[in-house]
Amino acid sequence: FKIKMDDFELFEELGKGNYGTVQKVLHRPTGVTMALKEIRLELDDSKLKTIITELDILHRATSNRIIEFYGAFFIESCVYYCMEFMDAGSLDFFAGCDVPEDVLARITRSMVEGLRFLKDELKIMHRDVKPTNALVNMKGEVKLCDFGVSGQLDRSLAKTNIGCQSYMAFRELEADKRCSFLPQQPERIKGESQGVVTSYSAASDVWSLGLTIIEVAIGHYPFPPETYSNVFAQLTAIVHGDPPTLPERYSPEAQDFVAQCLRKDARLRPSYQQLLEHPWLKGDVQRDVDMVGWVERGIAYRKENPKISVPALA
Ligand code: ATP
Ligand code: MG
């Protein structure tokens, strides 16, 4: 069936990203609660149609590691797409709460399985692996969203950002903790600085996965902007500094898993299959992990300790 704006009853805003907003909605014809994402793009209709067509590929995507896609449409210069509503929000909300090792392993395995599904079944890379793009529900499931299905959408978003790059002060990044229009992986930062366009590879997603695991464990992006005087210093640290590590309280297997993801030479990073065969994730398959309890405790903890963003540099 075709989804359209009139079908929705609108509820509260779930969040705001760099490109638009996400709202909780009720799809009246089906009675299904959904998340509706609005992306503002100044594009002609033919380009908008291309984006909708490309997004429709997602109708083929069914995996319990990936957010379900319900449909997309455009109105004027906005693209709207509807997806499964995840009632516990995104992983960044839980980052910095107590994250026991078995929970961290379960989150990681879900993400690796999701990434492998995208690569093997849809032949796409994610391109934006980070805690806000891993959603959680009260059943304790973790699913990926916002992966690069639409080349046209990715290109348009990249273009939209060129205009504001030079105006955007580094300290304004603190809310998002990473610069979404600059590459975040050593091989891609280096490529950019040498004026070569490095093609994005699955290994770059593996690097971002490593950073995401650490961020969930420590509660903030491992290269926090407030410790660097500008974005170039931050990028230099990613390229030339030692890769970040998981806190000591996690086991040697967990440490090794993250270190493998964060090999600076992209060619040395493991494939998804190799990651799934890593002892740390093999161990997770056999374990009974109380994810529901963890989500409940995390929500209670955040009620007492709301997430506050790091104050910007003076
Ligand atoms: P960026 O713009 O760099 O991708 P982002 O991922 O934070 O950053 P959005 O993708 O616009 O931005 O999402 C904004 C917020 O909305 C997310 O942080 C998440 O908490 C929430 N959100 C997104 N999709 C859903 C969903 N399907 N169900 C519940 N909450 C969601
Ligand atoms: Mg997102």
The reported pLDDT for the residue numbered 158 is 76
Query: 162 pLDDT exceeds 60?
Result: no
| Percentage of residues of the chain with pLDDT beyond 90 | 70
The reported pLDDT for the residue numbered 57 is 86
Inter-residue contact 262 to 274 (CB < 8 Å): no
The reported pLDDT for the residue numbered 191 is 78
Residues whose CB falls within 8 Å of the CB of residue 61, separated by 6 or more in sequence, listed in order: 69, 117, 118, 121, 122
Q: 279-286 and 252-261 helices cross at what angle (nearest 10)?
A: 120
Query: 176 pLDDT exceeds 80?
Result: no
- DSSP for 75-129? ETTEEEEEEE--TT-BHHHHTTS---HHHHHHHHHHHHHHHHHHHHHS----S--
Closest C-alpha to ligand 1, atom 21: 15
CB of 100 sitting under 6 A from ligand 1: no
Instruction: Kindly report, residue by residue over 84-110, the tens digit of the pLDDT.
Output: 999 999 999 999 999 999 999 999 999
d(CA 77, CA 82): 17
If we measure between CA atoms, which residue out of 78, 71, 69 comes closest to residue 19?
78
Query: 3 pLDDT exceeds 60?
Result: yes
| Residue 227 structure tokens | 């410790």
Instruction: Kindly report, residue by residue over 185-199, the tens digit of the pLDDT.
Output: 998 888 777 766 666
Q: Residue range 252-274: average pLDDT?
A: 97
3-state SS class at 45: helix
Question: How, if at all, do strands 78-84 and 32-40 pair?
Answer: antiparallel
Rounded to the nearest integer, the mean pLDDT of the chain is 89
The reported pLDDT for the residue numbered 226 is 84
| Higher-scoring residue by pLDDT: 174, 292 | 292
Q: Residue range 57-66: average pLDDT?
A: 90
Report residue 240 CA to chain centroid gap. 24
Query: 165 pLDDT exceeds 90?
Result: no
Query: 71 pLDDT exceeds 80?
Result: yes
Mutate to test the pocket of ligand 1, among 13, 14, 215 (most ligand atoms within 8 A of CB): 14
Tokens 């909605």 appear where? 25
Residues whose CB falls within 8 Å of the CB of residue 271, separated by 6 or more in sequence, listed in order: 202
Q: pTM score, two decimals?
A: 0.93
Ligand number, closest to the Cα atom of 35: 1
Query: 206 pLDDT exceeds 50?
Result: yes
Tokens 């903030």 appear where? 220
Instruction: Kindly report, residue by residue over 23-58, the tens digit of the pLDDT.
Output: 999 999 999 999 999 998 888 899 999 999 999 888
E strand or H helix that includes residue 47: helix 45-55
Distance between Cα 22 and ligand 1 center (Å): 6
What's the pLDDT band for 310 if we cut at 50, 70, 90? low
18 conformational bin, left if phi > 0, alpha if psi -120 to 50, beta if neither: alpha
| Catalytic site positions | 128
Can you list the pairs that 304-311 forms with residues at least 24 positions away whose Cβ atoms lie under 8 Å?
307/92, 307/93, 307/96, 309/174, 309/175, 310/174, 310/220, 310/224, 310/225, 310/226, 311/174, 311/226
What's the pLDDT band for 161 if we cut at 50, 70, 90? low
Query: 179 pLDDT exceeds 90?
Result: no
